[in-house]
Chain A
Amino acid sequence: MATQNSRSAARLMLAPAVILLLGWMLVPLTMTLWFSFRKYLPLRGGDQGWVGFDNYVRFVSSSSFWPSVQTTLIIVGGVLVITVVFGILLALLLDQPMWGQGIVRILVIAPFFVMPTVSALVWKNIFMDPVNGLFAHLWKFFGATPIEWLSQASVQSIIMIVSWQWLPFATLILLTAVQSLDGEQLEASEMDGAKPLQRFGYIILPHLARAITIVVLIQTIFLLSIFAEIFVTTGGAFGTKTLSYLIFQRVLESQNIGLGSAGGIYAVILANIVAIFLMRIVGKNLDA
């Protein structure tokens, strides 16, 4: 897009998409902002006018607020660490020439196509059920007392379920990056005396930095708002109440739209803080 002409044409062509996207984002955001300053209880008197920052103050001073922020960050962080670490390992493994490569790759991608609700139910009932679950049987086989996953290790369980869903995505992106690594660089480092671990640390990992950045950024966006997995498994109990789950409870269970909206705005702020933070740490990988 070099010339003045093609640039303005491009702008014209892009305009509808940009306007649509803006509307898409701005309308709900503005509505949320609007409601967050009103006292709105649908079953208890409806919209009762402006209340200033009341909703905001109430949302933060609730005893569930800080724990929910903490849970959100723990779940997001845990899933990121697991998916990136195992994603790299799987990508390196899948890059090796082996028999049935195509099928294995499809199988690895498969969990991504399972709906969150379904996969959470599968995990809950088939794997984590304290009486009939596979894990319970496994524990019993070794003579141990089965863990009641969703109550004793609730946050870990949710991290496990969500990681299982997102691992394929991370693996896929990282695999394409691994495949784009110039083989001669590895050979050169081999001749330079780098051992396998050093080749990984000095050559492969830096090469993957950009892909890892992308995985982290995209996953963070989606993970901040996970909901179905919690709804289906613990219902927010046992310390698994994330910020988005708390908002859901405020709006639907307490029927307080104003309070929920204020929570929504907090969620937006939290997401932005996390995003800026991530951009700071990893964003420099993107412009290299």
Chain B
Amino acid sequence: MGSISLKQVTKSFGPVDVIKPIDLEIEDGEFVVFVGPSGCGKSTLLRLIAGLEDVTSGHIEIDGNDATTIPPAKRGLAMVFQSYALYPHMSVRKNIAFPLKMAKVDQAEIDRKVDDAARVLNLSDYIDRRPGQLSGGQRQRVAIGRAIVREPAAFLFDEPLSNLDAALRGNMRLEISELHQTLKTTMIYVTHDQVEAMTMADKIVVLRDGIIEQVGSPIELYKNPRNLFVAEFIGSPKMNIIKGAAAEALGAPTIGVRPEHIEVSKTKPKADGAWKGTVGVSEHLGSDTFLHMDAEGVGTINVRADGEIELRHGDTAWLSPQVSKIHRFDAAGMAA
């Protein structure tokens, strides 16, 4: 069981309010991702839930019980740190066994659980090594192993993949998702990588300056961002934001169009409303081409076009945004 709810939680470090009052419900078994720019308070929020920081005001409930003043060890949560925080002088086996040993589980039981975890995480071959003799990905798995043997009510991950290279990150992302499928335990995952957020989450919480900007499933956030900040933050490449006359023509002071919702043609289309532009940089990725266009009267527009499109620097092309996929925002930046 691992439902967590935050009620009007705040946190200040001296005069600085890092977390403004936050309300959040996390259902049992959910995979929740906190995203947001650096310094927005993601780690702080996670540490509040873990109990590593005291809340300044408000309440944290775990499974319906007030856990605000319960010490970290008693909350039944396990955390995987960004630096992994493995114990360097203990072997992999001892690292994974540590929480069980602290809980005075008997040795036979510890051995069985550690062996199980090591098998699930493909660590059996390294079980007697020290963390210093492991690669980044292996260390990551040891940290996860140390978390799963405790059978926690929820896992807390703080940017667990940020120290890994791109390929490994992709692998570990899958492994963590699979782990979630198997264990069906609540997971709270902090990242500033929005690919991780989009691919792993059941529910994304977008934070900015200690405030929740929006909570929703990845697709919800992608389709209906509540404001400009979320619109720009979710989706890669970033949404194009257009202001001024070109926006007014489409019915709002500010509009947003995702790069994948713009059609490019080399000839002027019959329908009205196409923007004429010049190709600046074009990035050919094989499957896609990212075009950075300078559109007349609109500004710089990024477009995601077909991989085989034949457009080079300086070419002229017409851009037609898909009208139904345009996001309109009022003057205050809220979705209209």
Task: Map CB proximity to A onto B43-65 as digits: 1 under 8 Å, 0 otherwise.
Answer: 00000001110000000000000
Task: Kindly identify, within residues 52 to 81 of chain B, every residue whose CB is under 8 Å from any CB belonging to chain A.
Answer: 52, 71-73, 77-79, 81
Contact of A207 among B85, B89, B150 (CB under 8 A): B89
- C-alpha gap A190/B90 in the complex (Å): 16
- Which chain B residues lie closer than 8 Å to A203 at the CB level? 87
**Once the chains bind, are A187 and B98 in contact (CB under 8 Å)?**
no
- Which chain A residues lie closer than 8 Å to B79 at the CB level? 187-188, 191
Interface membership of B276, Cβ < 8 A? no
Interface membership of A192, Cβ < 8 A? yes
Interface membership of B332, Cβ < 8 A? no
Task: Kindly identify, within residues 243 to 287 of chain B, every residue whose CB is under 8 Å from any CB belonging to chain A.
Answer: none
- Which chain A residues lie closer than 8 Å to B77 at the CB level? 191
**Once the chains bind, are B102 and A182 in contact (CB under 8 Å)?**
no
**Once the chains bind, are A185 and B85 in contact (CB under 8 Å)?**
yes
- Which chain B residues lie closer than 8 Å to A194 at the CB level? 73, 98, 102
- C-alpha gap A156/B181 in the complex (Å): 66
- Which residue of chain A is the closest to B47 with respect to CB atoms? A187
Interface membership of B99, Cβ < 8 A? yes
- Which residue of chain A is the closest to B132 with respect to CB atoms? A288
Contact of B98 among A182, A192, A207, A209 (CB under 8 A): A192
- Which residue of chain A is the closest to B52 with respect to CB atoms? A187
- Which chain A residues lie closer than 8 Å to B85 at the CB level? 182, 184-185, 187-188
- Which chain B residues lie closer than 8 Å to A288 at the CB level? 89
- Which chain B residues lie closer than 8 Å to A190 at the CB level? 52, 71-73
- C-alpha gap A191/B71 in the complex (Å): 9
- C-alpha gap A185/B103 in the complex (Å): 18
- C-alpha gap A188/B52 in the complex (Å): 10
**Once the chains bind, are B99 and A193 in contact (CB under 8 Å)?**
yes
- Which chain B residues lie closer than 8 Å to A187 at the CB level? 52, 72, 79, 81, 85
Interface membership of A198, Cβ < 8 A? yes
**Once the chains bind, are A209 and B73 in contact (CB under 8 Å)?**
no
Interface membership of B83, Cβ < 8 A? yes
Interface membership of A202, Cβ < 8 A? yes
User: What distance in Å separates the Cβ of A287 from its nearest Cβ neighbour in chain B?
Assistant: 12
Interface membership of A235, Cβ < 8 A? no
Task: Kindly identify, within residues 180 to 219 of chain A, every residue whose CB is under 8 Å from any CB belonging to chain B.
Answer: 182, 184-185, 187-195, 198, 202-203, 206-207, 209
User: What distance in Å separates the Cβ of B323 from its nearest Cβ neighbour in chain A?
Assistant: 50
Interface membership of B292, Cβ < 8 A? no
- C-alpha gap A231/B259 in the complex (Å): 86
User: What distance in Å separates the Cβ of A161 from its nearest Cβ neighbour in chain B?
Assistant: 35
Interface membership of B226, Cβ < 8 A? no
- Which chain A residues lie closer than 8 Å to B150 at the CB level? 192
**Would A193 and B73 be within 8 Å (CB), given that A187-B81, A188-B81 are in contact?**
yes
User: What distance in Å separates the Cβ of B159 from its nearest Cβ neighbour in chain A?
Assistant: 12
- Which chain A residues lie closer than 8 Å to B86 at the CB level? 185
Task: Map CB proximity to A onto B19-59 as digits: 1 under 8 Å, 0 otherwise.
Answer: 00000000000000000000000000000001110000000
- C-alpha gap A198/B87 in the complex (Å): 13
Interface membership of B139, Cβ < 8 A? no
- Which residue of chain A is the closest to B51 with respect to CB atoms? A191
**Once the chains bind, are B98 and A191 in contact (CB under 8 Å)?**
no
Contact of B146 among A184, A192, A207 (CB under 8 A): A192
Contact of A191 among B72, B87, B89 (CB under 8 A): B72
**Would A192 and B102 be within 8 Å (CB), given that A206-B89, A207-B89 are in contact?**
yes
**Once the chains bind, are A191 and B83 in contact (CB under 8 Å)?**
no
Contact of A193 among B50, B82, B103 (CB under 8 A): B103
**Once the chains bind, are A184 and B81 in contact (CB under 8 Å)?**
yes
User: What distance in Å separates the Cβ of B75 from its nearest Cβ neighbour in chain A?
Assistant: 8
- Which chain A residues lie closer than 8 Å to B73 at the CB level? 190-194
- Which residue of chain B is the closest to A288 with respect to CB atoms? B89
**5 closest A-B pairs (Cβ-Cβ)?**
A192-B99, A188-B85, A193-B102, A184-B85, A193-B73
Residues on A lying within 8 angstroms of B by beta carbon are 182, 184-185, 187-195, 198, 202-203, 206-207, 209, 288
Inter-chain pairs besides A194-B98, A203-B87, 17 sampled, C-beta below 8 Å: A182-B83, A184-B83, A184-B85, A187-B79, A187-B81, A188-B146, A190-B72, A192-B98, A192-B102, A192-B146, A193-B102, A193-B103, A194-B73, A195-B102, A198-B102, A207-B89, A288-B89
Q: List 26 A-B contacts (CB under 8 A).
A: A182-B83, A184-B81, A184-B85, A185-B87, A187-B72, A187-B79, A188-B81, A188-B87, A188-B146, A189-B87, A190-B52, A190-B71, A191-B50, A191-B78, A191-B79, A191-B99, A192-B98, A192-B99, A194-B73, A198-B102, A202-B87, A202-B90, A202-B98, A206-B87, A206-B89, A209-B89
